[in-house]
Structure 1
């Protein structure tokens, strides 16, 4: 069995105990430490070792993390896989597909489809989604196949080194063609079963960057970047500015041009947790959003 993590002891670590390197330089999360202790193991130069053993320069510390199969029901689904290797999977989610099961959508979710993919490949792994998309939103979602990759990418997400950008078709035109929306978001007081959010002084800090790409007859195509990741953040911020996303019934109004909110996760940048090389994933604008822009161009002619 291949170890999940292999680290070489550095000269300044000569004489340290294995656990001092694990807790120090490697900065493993509590979750990874539990997986190492409960069902995993640590080896030194290919032989089982206790974490209190002392090491020499050049020694190889090999760490195995326990993993378990997902408890989600596998369901066949056609997945548009846009990137994959031994550690990661990136999928272009179609619109109107929930990401994971909820009370309203107990099945037919992207997570159920990935569970089926794991089953077909004989993989006994949990499904570790790095981020979420609303049901109606299309675009890229990143999944970690193993615990260490997930741990590293969560750190990038929290430190904002993992960058997520979206394309949206919004109502009207923005006065400033690029800018920052820095407005706190909290629960709405309206009777909506706790789903709706609003800009409120009592909310949590929320920051979004925007840039107008092109203006049309009555809409604009904008690129958006999440700095924070509050529920419905981009939708709330754009509605607060008076330019809701086209087709967003919760924060704007329904549209005859599209049967969903015109929001698409098109860009993902991060450092690969294993190779430490930059990874860029780009997903072109989907057909239903292109149709809006084509229709708008015809109106301008």
Structure 2
């Protein structure tokens, strides 16, 4: 069973998390989005800003979601949403520890949810000052799966290039995109339910953003009727190129089962699944990220028969 993806949305106060979240809610194209809003304070301002646009919401006022450490933890909150939505976004408070929130999702015992990635929103205008006030920002960037440089319309090209260079070094290969007013395309984070299954991750039908600074990411589809070599594919996945944010689809290893592949940032998981009765046995993958000029060539090099012993490399990443 494929779980509901849970995306952790983090960033320091004023970075633009709620603006970005509201944009996702307005442009989700039929996707049912559940939100866990975590506002540190007695009056939940973020929840008030989001209310009315969301399909399902649970509010955690008066404390950080990373401090929900009782037995069950975040599972109890997520369980209230999973039956009604297609994706869940946890908007962490500006002083939350995003890695702790992501670890709660990754450690969830609820089979109806799965990790959807840690998104760190950065205010490029206040980036240098924020690093001084909150030196832990460097650590947050190191564990992020996707970094969103927001408010790029408020800095010149030289200033943006300087921030981009520092973030690229700190984020250690994470995908980085730039936005104005939090206008991040939802297709980078989750599948749009109104699309046919065969094209649910395609960007071909999106609005043309080619003249925008944030039009840096792309989607690559890969298919092969020949089996993939287990060791070569796992080597590619373990050392996946910088800028790759998501990989998902099904892999044909020449085995009786097909393998469902999910990659989000540094998270990698394979699941065994049955082939449909009339379903052709082939590998079908979609890769999303930035600067992926040679991804197809690298995947082509992974095509090839492997013996049963080579499957041990796959089993290391396969859920029992």
TM-score norm. by structure 2 comes to 0.24
* Larger-gyration structure (1/2): 1
TM-score, length-normalised on structure 1?
0.25
